[in-house]
């Protein structure tokens, strides 16, 4: 199976089989039969894509309640550090984070279940980030956690002076002060 389990239940790394030759490469980035064979019943309803430059950090974001989203994330160009935080209150790994380098060259993808905050930092000169969601975005259900929260202790693989944040991401609450209705 192309799915690797992580230390956080339900969080999976998807490594598709890549066929390469002198012309380039080919792989299936998503096939519902492959996911269903692994016991994953997902109905993706929205695709999103973002392009960013070095140092841009987006996150940590989530959708709460009825609008929570599972995501299948990958990088089409460049390299990012992808980070998730388990926000499921009944989880053994509540409050724990997981990070992975996703890049156009390694073709890895991260399957993020509902109930996680998600973010990424661009490590290459530019990166194009793509993700599928199993639920539609709803502005009233969005939430976030400050990327630099000391209780999470996330190493973003960037010098602090190189990090570029949106105004919204600069004022997110800390982990102890967020209140998602997951």
- Of the candidate ranges 38-42, 47-51, 83-87, 133-137, the one whose mean pLDDT is the lowest: 38-42
Q: 138, 165, 167: which is closest to 63 by C-alpha?
A: 138
CA distance 138 to 143: 10
Which residues have C-beta within 8 Å of that of residue 122, sequence separation ≥ 6? 52, 53, 54, 55, 56, 57, 78, 79, 80
Domain membership of residue 126 (yes or no) is yes
Given 120, 131, 147, 178, which residue is catalytic?
131
Question: pTM of the predicted model, to two decimals?
Answer: 0.93
Is 157 annotated as catalytic? no
Domain membership of residue 182 (yes or no) is no
CATH number of the domain where residue 134 is located? 2.60.120.10
- The total number of structural domains in the chain stands at 1
102-139 per-position pLDDT tens digit: 999 999 999 999 999 999 999 999 999 999 999 999 99
Domain membership of residue 104 (yes or no) is yes
CA distance 179 to 143: 8
Kindly tell me the burial class for residue 89, based on how many C-beta atoms sit within 10 Å of its own C-beta (0-12, 13-18, 19 or more).
Answer: exposed
Is 131 annotated as catalytic? yes
2-29 per-position pLDDT tens digit: 899 999 999 999 998 999 999 998 988 9
* Residue whose tokens read 């974001």: 61
HEC assignment per residue over 106-164 = CCCEEEECCCEEEEEEECCCEEEEEEEECCCCCHHHEEECCCCCCCCCCCCCCCHHHCE
Residue 26, domain extent: 3-177
143-172 per-position pLDDT tens digit: 999 999 999 999 999 999 999 999 999 999
Domain membership of residue 49 (yes or no) is yes
- DSSP at 35: H
- Please tell me the predicted confidence (pLDDT) of residue 11: 96
Domain membership of residue 162 (yes or no) is yes
Domain membership of residue 76 (yes or no) is yes
- Of the candidate ranges 33-37, 53-57, 67-71, the one whose mean pLDDT is the lowest: 33-37
CA distance 147 to 163: 10
Given 30, 54, 61, 67, which residue is catalytic?
61
């Amino acid at each position: 199976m192309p799915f690797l389990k992580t230390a956080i239940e339900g969080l999976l790394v998807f490594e598709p089989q890549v066929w390469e030759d002198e012309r380039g490469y080919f792989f299936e980035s998503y096939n519902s039969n492959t996911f269903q064979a692994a016991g994953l019943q997902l109905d993706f309803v929205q695709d999103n894509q973002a392009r960013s430059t070095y140092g841009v950090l987006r996150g940590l974001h989530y959708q709460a309640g009825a609008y929570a989203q599972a995501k299948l994330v990958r990088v089409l160009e460049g390299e990012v550090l992808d980070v998730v935080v388990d926000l499921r209150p009944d989880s053994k790994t509540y409050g724990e984070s997981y990070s992975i380098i996703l890049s156009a060259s390694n073709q890895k993808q991260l399957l993020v279940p509902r109930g996680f905050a998600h973010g990424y930092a661009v490590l290459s000169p530019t990166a194009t980030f793509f993700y599928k969601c199993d639920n539609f975005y709803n502005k009233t259900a969005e939430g976030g956690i400050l990327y630099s929260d000391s209780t999470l202790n996330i190493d973003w693989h960037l010098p602090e002076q190189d990090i570029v944040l949106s105004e919204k991401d600069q004022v997110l609450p800390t982990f102890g002060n967020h209140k998602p209705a997951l």
